[in-house]
Amino acid sequence: MTARKPTAVPISAADATRERPRRGLPNPSSDERKSKAIERALSQEKGRYRLRDLKRAHTREAKHYVNCPLDYDTKMRLQKAAFDNDIKMMVIIKAAIDQFLRDNGY
C-alpha cells in the first residue's frame, strides 16, 4: 500500500481578504448612552454628597476637646494600659469619664 499525500485546498485571494461577520454586542443608541451617563453622574454626585456629610458629622463629633494635665505616673499607667490592651489612650480616657459621669448621675 502506498500512503496518500493530503491534497491542499487552494485558497483564493478573495477568500483570504474577506472578513468574517462579527458578532459583537449591540450598540446602544445615543439616547440610551446619554441616559446611562446621566444616571452614572447622578449616582457619583450622591456618593460625593454622602461622603461630605459623613466627614462633616465626624468633625462635628471630634471638635470638643478637653485638656487636662496628668502627673507622670498616671500618664505612664495610661500608656501601659493602652499598649497592653491595644487601644488608644483617648478611648480609655473617654470610657473612664463616661463611667464616672454615669456613676454620679450625669
pLDDT (average), residues 88-96 = 94
Whether 49 and 78 share a structural domain: no
Q: What is the pLDDT of residue 57?
A: 84
- Amino acid residing at 44: Q
- CA-based nearest residue to 94, from 58, 61, 49, 53: 61
Whether 37 and 53 share a structural domain: yes
Range(s) of the domain holding residue 106: 65-106
Return the CATH number at 85.
1.10.1220
**Grid coordinates belonging to 7:** 491534497
Q: What is the pLDDT of residue 14?
A: 61
The pLDDT tens digits of the residues spanning 58-80 come to 877 766 778 889 999 999 999 99
How far is the C-alpha of 4 from the C-alpha of 2, rounded, in Å?
6
Q: What is the DSSP letter of 36?
A: H
